[in-house]
Chain A
Amino acid sequence: MRTLLLSSLIILYGCSQKIADSFAQTVVNNSCLVNVKPKFETVLFNTQVDITSHHLTGLLLMKKMQDDTTRVVFTNEMGIKYFDFEFTENNFRVISCIRKLNKKIAINQLKKIFSLILMNKTEINSYQLIKTGTTKYFCLNGEKEQTYYITDTNCTKVMLIETTDGEKKKIIISFDGQKNGIAEDIFINYKTFKFDIHLKQIER
């Protein structure tokens, strides 16, 4: 019993950020995250990207393939392809990327954002739950940053994803509505520099 209490305290200590301080903290299983993992087949988003002083728009397609991989393809309105990424449970592959965008830092950030949204199964099993009154907080305590998934109490949807460096928030991903097994609107907001993405589902 004492060991269990001690382990719980260690886990909770790792996740004890300011944003979680005001909530009662108990460790329970995270089947909730499995429930809220996006379950789409093919979705198309109208996409707005603001990075530093640049504004970029286009269409982003997410498609679940038969081999269980997920492809994320971004094109401009006239059909010019910016990137085509492949996500699997344990892997990520750049299928294609235009030269201007094909920089390690850009690819890593895009990989990070879409991995968080797609919710890799292996990773979500590592999250710890901090139960709250009106929402549920899940936390993964990494070496340099903590990542939070915030869901509704009934585990029907993800409301927010946040990453912090221990003190300050770094990325906030918020979700609105639900259609075709994923949020209708997804807002990605970087707190450390000017980088915002807005994905809005469109009917085809």
Chain B
Amino acid sequence: MRNYFFLIFFYPVVLLAQPKGFTGIKDLVSFKNKFAAASKSVNTIKSDFIQEKNLSVLSEKIKSKGVFMFKKQNMARMEYISPFKYLLIINGDKVFIKDAQKSNSFSSSNNKMFENINKIMIDCVQGTALENKNFTCVVYENDKLYLLELSPKLKAFKDLFKKIDIYIDKKDYTVNNFDMSDASGDNTVITFINKQFNTNVTDADFTVK
């Protein structure tokens, strides 16, 4: 009886909470297996990205673009080239940042934010995003995409994000967009375009000085 009451009371809320254009995934096990299998065949990724920060109340968009690279096991590089120069390299536990004035390297384990961003990025590429213990994950789908909705569990991370939506292409199980929303309703969308897999990406691209 209590279960029926729960279902009747919360069913409309569950429906409303679903992202527009998506429904709950029908076969989660199959998705997990295919996501992991597809990721296994990818050793390197090189892709352009476009980042759009939407400041909703201000009706402002801050656009930037750059190049993203990934190499197994644990190397990622985000280089912003316009309208500012900024380089972020994650190589295992090490993080290297170069901005207009300075360059700096440190251990990601000393910085929870970087450690978590590192883990999300690597998890997405390696097909293990659903296993990240710092987030609760709900998976939705439509005819073209899977949507992984990650909600942070850690207090420090909740301060920065309300949720992170990851849009995965059903054709090849690769990430099309990251959409990071904060509590104020603003969000940052990173869209990956011109994706190239298993091309000439070398360890030298991830040198941490």
Contact = CB atoms under 8 A, between A and B. Distances in A.
Contacts of B60: 42, 61, 63
A99 B26 CA distance: 39
B118 to A, nearest CB: 12
Contacts of A73: 55, 58
A85 to B, nearest CB: 12
Nearest to B87: A77
Interface in B163-195: 180, 182-184, 186-188, 190
A77 B180 CA distance: 13
Interface string A50-62: 0000010101010
Interface stretch (B1-9, B11-19, B97-105, B130-138): B97-105
B53 A79 contact: yes
A77 B86 contact: yes
B188 A48 contact: no
Interface size class of B (residues with CB under 8 A): 20 to 34
A121 to B, nearest CB: 22
A106 interface: no
A37 B55 CA distance: 26
Contacts of A198: 101
A48 B86 contact: no
Nearest to B64: A77
A55 B57 CA distance: 29
A55 B188 contact: no
Contact of A80 (B57, B63, B160): B160
A135 to B, nearest CB: 29
A73 B56 CA distance: 12
A79 B140 CA distance: 25
Interface string B63-103: 11000000000000010100110101000000000011110
Interface in A89-137: 95-96, 98-99
A96 B83 CA distance: 25
A44 B62 contact: yes
B44 interface: no
Contact of A78 (B99, B104, B182, B188): B188
A98 B112 CA distance: 15
Contacts of B104: 55
B62 A57 contact: no
B188 A46 contact: no
Contacts of B63: 204
Given A61-B62, A71-B58, A78-B188, A203 B83 contact: yes
Contacts of B126: none
B58 A65 contact: yes
A176 interface: no
B51 interface: yes
A34 interface: no
A10 interface: no
Nearest to B78: A78
A172 B62 CA distance: 29
B159 interface: yes
Interface of A: 42, 44, 46, 48, 55, 57, 59, 61, 63, 65, 71, 73, 75, 77-81, 84, 95-96, 98-99, 198, 200, 202-204
17 contacts: A42-B60, A55-B104, A57-B86, A57-B99, A59-B62, A75-B62, A77-B64, A77-B80, A77-B84, A78-B78, A78-B117, A79-B62, A81-B184, A81-B186, A95-B57, A99-B159, A200-B100
Given A59-B62, A61-B55, 16 more contacts: A42-B60, A48-B100, A57-B100, A59-B53, A61-B62, A77-B80, A77-B84, A77-B99, A78-B188, A79-B53, A79-B62, A79-B187, A80-B188, A95-B184, A96-B184, A204-B63
